[in-house]
Copies of this chain bind each other. A is one copy, B any other.
Amino acid sequence: MDELDSALVQLLQRDARQTNRELARQLGIAPSTCLERVRSLERRGVIRGYHAEIDTAALNRGVQAFVAVQIRPLSRTVIDSFTEFVAGLPQVVSAFVVAGGDDFLIHVAVQDLDHLHAFLVDRLSRRREIISYRSSVIYQQAHNTVLAALDEP
């Protein structure tokens, strides 16, 4: 991860569909060199994939929320099976196992408030390991699509 790699990573976070020539031009290197760099980043797992960002409204997901969940017992078996269950639900954008008061934080995106309610009641609350949950509707969000590498110290 030298400064050339960092620059590539930054450019590809901003626009993953830039041509290799364009990337090379911005870095001041030959296209063949650039291509080899990108391949290396992919091979080393630094670049995990390239994804289109889609407008949630176009996906008919007008309502988003976070659901904080507590489960018991907090064993690996229960955590893993609950993670698998949650990750398989089409309403779920992402799920986080967290420390602190809550055990899970689930980001969901659904059609409307009715469907959020249905999700909570029909999907989540059916699970016996859940001892409590609390949902927070999202009003606004800001996303940082380009993350820089932080300094070592």
Contact = CB atoms under 8 A, between A and B. Distances in A.
Nearest to A8: B52
A96 B138 contact: yes
A131 interface: no
A97 B141 CA distance: 6
A30 interface: no
A144 to B, nearest CB: 6
Interface in A17-75: 17, 44-56, 58-61, 65-66
A47 B51 contact: no
Interface of A: 1, 9, 12-17, 44-56, 58-61, 65-66, 79, 83, 86-87, 90-102, 105, 109-111, 115, 134-145, 147-152
